[in-house]
Amino acid sequence: MNFNEACTRVREGDIPTQSIGVLKEKPLHATLKWWLDDNPDHHEITLPCGKVADIYDGTTVTEVQTGSFSPLRKKLETLLDTYPVTVVHPVVRRKYLSWIDPDTGEATPARRSPRVGSFADGGKQLIYILPLLGHPNLTVRLVLLDAEEQRIADGWGNGGKRGSHRAVLLPISVEDTLDLRCPADYAALIPAGLPAAFTAAQFGKAAKQQGRNLNGTLKVLLDRGVITRTEKEGNAWVYARV
């Protein structure tokens, strides 16, 4: 099934969304799952080890992880000893935002967010499975996509937008994919335009990351041998591509 068809069928209810976590992840998870494998006999398969695979085609396990990788590590530790596993993680490139009135249910026209995401945004989740990234049975596939985020204006200030809740994230289209297997693949997580030597602050500005997310991405790149620390510039480390 192509991605556009999967998006349309999930939105129209032709493909049932299953109870797999919080509401906001259901349509995105279902769309990716049916796009990856449109055979329902391969979905939600209980394996001999007792783990339930999002997709199992008789050879390979595919896990669609739309949220944090934190709860995924123990499951992967069990699966990787027996199966080739592909973890599919969506990364939003362009986001279109609409607001839903909590009283009437009416939605505003979707407007595009000025922020543009990149594959670098996927690096912040990899820190949770860092010891497993070199496993020969593991592939991490980042899917760069455009999506519409619908939020309920149930917060305070600015028409209820502050402190509001996301109702749903609806995928629109896939722009690119990136498979991470060998260390060289991880070089694609480095933002374009960085100088040969750079600080964490420069990386964070280019990748639009800061704090824990920035530190996690840099740690992954160091672990995979894609960058190295060369010297200190004041209190800041200087990094270089390997």
pLDDT score of 216 = 94
Q: How far apart are CA 212 and CA 209, in angstroms?
A: 9
Q: How far apart are the C-alpha atoms of 77 and 88, rounded to whole Å?
A: 16
Pick from 234, 9, 227, 242: which is nearest to 120 by CA? Answer: 227
pLDDT of amino acid 16 = 61
- Cβ atoms < 10 Å from Cβ of 202: 17
**Can you give the pLDDT of all 242 residues of the chain as single tens digits?**
899 899 988 888 777 655 444 333 379 999 999 999 999 999 999 999 999 999 999 999 999 999 999 999 999 999 999 999 999 999 999 999 988 888 888 888 889 999 899 999 998 999 999 999 999 999 999 999 999 988 888 777 776 777 777 778 899 999 999 999 999 999 999 998 899 899 999 999 999 999 999 999 999 999 999 999 999 988 899 999 99
Q: What is the pTM of this model?
A: 0.89
Q: In angstroms, what CA-CA distances link 173 with 6, 23, 52, 125? A: 10, 20, 28, 22
Among 133, 146, 149, 147, residue whose Cα is nearest residue 217: 133
